[in-house]
Amino acid sequence: MSDVRFTSAGLLPQQNRHSEMAQKLLEVTGAVAVILSSQDGLLVGAHQGTEREDAEKMAALGTSLLAASSKAAVFYPATEGGASGVRQLNLEREDGSFVILAKVGPGVTVALFTGARTDLSSAAYEIAKFAQWFAPGVADRAEA
């Protein structure tokens, strides 16, 4: 497997920009990995050092899990007005680390893999701030 370097030749400029933003999110949260995917599960960016095959698998899997959680949320609406969409899904691993899946913009999903000592609320806040780059209106939830 080859090491993904999204600043290398052969990738679209948008993938380079997405990957640069993924690298910044990785650094500010202290996460282990950051993968960005399209709404149809295609890889659109990842932090440097990610292997392409792993990133592509996680892009597809993360998008599928977030979509499945959105479908599950409609069964028991939290409000009288009906079900609302899912913004974020947190998966806790046995070692105390998390995989955070979140919608960060129109058609863009992030999968952030934390370490066991990462503060979950701080990571969620940074993801909301990260969303400003994709869709400024989405980031309003970071102010709350």
Give the model's confidence band at 7: pLDDT under 50 very low, under 70 low, under 90 confident, else very high.
very low
Q: How confident is the model at residue 14 (pLDDT cuts 50, 70, 90)?
A: low
Model confidence pLDDT, tens digit, residues 108-125:
899 999 988 888 888 888
CB 123 within 8 A of CB 100: yes
Strand order in the sheet with 33-38: 43-46, 33-38, 108-113, 98-105, 88-92
- Pair 125, 117: CB distance under 8 Å: no
Grouping H, G, I as helix, E, B as strand and the rest as coil, residue 55 is helix
* pLDDT, tens digit (0-9, with 9 covering 90-100), for 16-53: 677 777 788 888 888 898 898 988 999 888 887 788 89
Check residue 82 and give its pLDDT: 63
Quote the pTM value.
0.78
Separation between Cα atoms, residue 78 and residue 108, nearest integer Å: 25
In this predicted structure, the answer to whether residue 143 has a pLDDT above a threshold of 60 is: no
Cα 21 to its chain centre, rounded Å, is 11
pLDDT at 65 over 50: yes
